[in-house]
Structure 1
């Protein structure tokens, strides 16, 4: 028995040396993949008579809807035609078709979780939560600017994994305004004027109530806070 133990000892030492040698190479190992994260999303709308011209009566935002997704799971793309879901959301605040489109993205694997928060008056705020994971670290959200022909506010594919591959603790992102390209109405309360053929989604510049800001003030802010 003692002789067997002696025969095993050199093998054990060699094994230790191999591990030591591997550690001494200075090889940089990849950082561990972060686990899922839960975020509280608050849309703080500042759109008002004091921020934008021609502020309409009954101003509000429709139900905020969106998803966490991979790079290929976009709800819309500027410069491309709006889907039926984006059209219905932007023109009527109706999310039925958009829910179905997001569900299809989930089935294909490019979208992860969905979020839908209730409509609210502007100025004002609404909040909800959504989960992301390392394969789906981006967040896209949309809501109709109401009343309007086909205008909407969005959070566009915000990547919540930072440069080190870790989840951002908190982030504030201006709410961008877009024209869905499906109605030619020039004012908030213009009658329906369908765009035929349909145009492309494009950034919308709303004139400020005061001053001459080239891009106009944002409609509000998306506050993204990691809570787990």
Structure 2
């Protein structure tokens, strides 16, 4: 065999061997992008003389306010001091400072959209909509229990996006009550008694209207329904 032909045969054999031992590779496609989701939020308040003791005259809830946000952008945390915004909301139903705090979170990218719905009497309900996205899949909402020293109801850091990238279709969650730790009044209509130094946010236990249960029923239910 001519030397040149022998050399070509060797090169061809080496090429076949390399092809047979090369690992199989497949193109890795990017994961599909998770779109945003629009939810209808309804706070159905059931707080009444029939559910809780010492039900005050003129019972109502202040404007519901909150935001869609990242995990590191909580409006409050149980066991931690209340911000000025949470204090003013819980004591006065005034959302000016809390709205500014949410706006600051939006400017930093930690929060996405703000929700603010009108005040209403209890029992009763109010609804509004809010959009979430993959970077801000959590929802937190608060509203003052009125009248009260510094008590409020909250939806705390609810994650609506699961590990598989699916948005929840709907959820129904108890409206839990909290004490902001900024006023020491013991009853719904107690005069102002500022807590000095201020304490921390803690779960609030309101006595049921009847029975010896140590923890009364929730003051209502948060209904979350995905619209698109």
Give the alignment's TM-score, normalised by structure 1.
0.87
Partner of 1:174: 174
Report the Cα distance in structure 2 between the residues aligned to 1:49 and 1:140, rounded to whole angstroms.
27
SS at match of 1:191: coil
Partner of 2:164: 164
Report the Cα distance in structure 2 between the residues aligned to 1:30 and 1:182, rounded to whole angstroms.
49
Partner of residue 22 from structure 1, selected from 26, 41, 50: 26
Partner of 2:204: 204
Q: Provide structure 1 residue ranges, at least 5 long, that are not aligned to the other structure.
A: 1-17
Partner of 1:5: none
Partner of 1:189: 189
Partner of 1:115: 115
The CA deviation at 1:33 is 3.2
**How big is the alpha-carbon RMSD for the aligned residues of Structure 1 and Structure 2?**
1.6
Report the Cα distance in structure 2 between the residues aligned to 1:30 and 1:58, rounded to whole angstroms.
56
The CA deviation at 1:181 is 0.2
> Radius of gyration: which is bigger?
2
The CA deviation at 1:216 is 1.1
Partner of 2:143: 143
Report the Cα distance in structure 2 between the residues aligned to 1:21 and 1:185, rounded to whole angstroms.
69
Number of matched pairs:
206
Report the Cα distance in structure 2 between the residues aligned to 1:78 and 1:30, rounded to whole angstroms.
39
Report the Cα distance in structure 1 between the residues aligned to 2:154 and 2:190, rounded to whole angstroms.
22
The CA deviation at 1:31 is 4.8
Give the alignment's TM-score, normalised by structure 2.
0.87
Quick check: 1:125 aligned with 2:125? Answer: yes
**What whole-Å deviation, never above 9, does each CA across 1:125-150 have from its counterpart, x for those lacking one?**
00000000000000000000000000
Q: Provide structure 2 residue ranges, at least 5 long, that are not aligned to the other structure.
A: 1-21
Quick check: 1:81 aligned with 2:81? Answer: yes
| Structure 1 moving runs of 4+ over 3 Å | none
